[in-house]
Amino acid sequence: MEPAERSRVPRIDPYGFERPEDFDDAAYEKFFSSYLVTLTRRAIKWSRLLQGGSVPRSRTVKRYVRKGVPLEHRARVWMALSGAQAQMDQNPGYYHRLLQGERNPRLEDAIRTDLNRTFPDNVKFRKTTDPCLQKTLYNVLLAYGHHNQGVGYCQGMNFIAGYLILITNNEEESFWLLDALVGRILPDYYSPAMLGLKTDQEVLGELVRAKLPAVGALMERLGVLWTLVVSRWFICLFVDVLPVETVLRIWDCLFNEGSKIIFRVALTLIKQHQEFILEATSIPDICDKFKQITKGSFVMECHTFMQKIFSEPGSLSMATVAKLRESCRARLLAQG
């Protein structure tokens, strides 16, 4: 029998994920009791904002999004801000036509292989659950593979689509949000050559060298490639890396402000744990430290964490990111 005080935190979170054995119930309860007050206050403000029907792009909305979108409004807000709603409205019936399109056995097999590996710790994705979300996930990924044949299916997209399904509870909306992310917000992350992904990992390296030179120097001295320590952050957009609530708060901003948010999160994690990272003396050591910095109370307390990502890294404009992307991409292409 577990002690009575532990049982107050449910073993399964609101999204269907089982909490791990070593989950710190006491720390979570302490955080959540104060976060609940924030959530309630935000929900009232959002309900007022959304009374007009549409979700306009404005400074107010940007501020609201940074402070978190309440779960009950998340799907609607993501759909509006990402342009997915407009795409869906302009293409009625398109999603269902994709599902009925010509069969592609290679695509189907690739998706099927990954279904059981997607969130084994989530009860909603288990075959024993009715309805099991694996079928929904399969449909969304299959439709996307038909829609964007240059990408087809790539590992990592299963985790992203899975989160979208958990939030929207709607197959078609999940498809259009996946299209917004893969087709527009994340430049060339999932194409076979993954040039956009490789470019952005190099961009992070440049930003670290400029803003956190000691860490940049250590990575260079040890000969650590950035892809070794951060590829999962980029490919999975922090899914299965950071706590669920924190990932959703990051995605709120990602859909509104674009891919520079990923750099803000990465820089904040590295800056916050700079001293700890600098203790590393070998490549395995540094890999282990990069895993550890994504755990603990700093990342669990999502509200404070999100405030930090907008203050800690300093200014970071889309223009700066675009310029760095250009030079890093050219360098990668020259290396061929």
C-alpha to C-alpha distance for 137 and 164, rounded to whole angstroms:
9
Residue with tokens 């609530």: 245
Model confidence pLDDT, tens digit, residues 23-68: 888 899 999 999 999 999 999 999 999 987 788 888 999 999 999 9
Torsion of CA 48, 52, 53, 57, to 10 degrees: -90
pLDDT band of residue 3 (cuts 50, 70, 90) is: very low
DSSP H helices, 6-58, are: 25-49
Q: How many CB atoms lie within 10 A of CB 165?
A: 23
Instruction: Name the residue ranges covered by the structural domains of the chain.
Output: 69-185, 195-335
Give residue 7's pLDDT: 53
Amino acid at 36: L
What is the SS3 string spanning 115-141?
A: HCCCCCCEHHHCCCCCCCHHHHHHHHH
CA distances from 8 to 21, 64, 124, 198 (A): 15, 31, 22, 44
Q: What percent of the chain has pLDDT over 90?
A: 86
Model confidence pLDDT, tens digit, residues 189-246: 999 899 999 999 999 999 999 999 999 999 999 999 999 999 999 999 999 999 999 9
8 Å CB contact between 211 and 268: no
pLDDT band of residue 131 (cuts 50, 70, 90) is: confident
CATH topology of domain 195-335: Cyclin A; domain 1 (1.10.472)
Residue with tokens 């509104």: 256
Helix (H, G, I), strand (E, B) or coil at 17: strand
CA distances from 91 to 77, 86, 106, 153 (A): 19, 9, 27, 22
Residue with tokens 């997607």: 118
C-alpha to C-alpha distance for 40 and 247, rounded to whole angstroms:
19
Domain 69-185 has CATH 1.10.8.270: yes
Give residue 5's pLDDT: 47
Reply yes or no on whether the pLDDT at 333 is more than 90: yes
8 Å CB contact between 6 and 23: no
Q: Which long-range contacts (CB under 8 A, 24 or more apart) does 210-219 make?
A: 211/267, 211/271, 211/313, 211/314, 212/267, 212/270, 212/271, 212/274, 214/274, 214/278, 215/270, 215/274, 215/277, 215/278, 218/277, 218/278, 218/280, 218/286, 219/286
Helix axes of 71-82 and 171-179: crossing angle, nearest 10 degrees: 50
Model confidence pLDDT, tens digit, residues 175-196: 999 999 999 999 799 998 999 9
Helix (H, G, I), strand (E, B) or coil at 12: strand
SS3 content of the chain, % helix, strand, coil (to 5): 70, 0, 30
Give residue 213's pLDDT: 97
**Strand ranges inside the chain, DSSP E:** none
Give residue 1's pLDDT: 38
Name the residue among 222, 221, 153 with its Cα closest to residue 190: 153
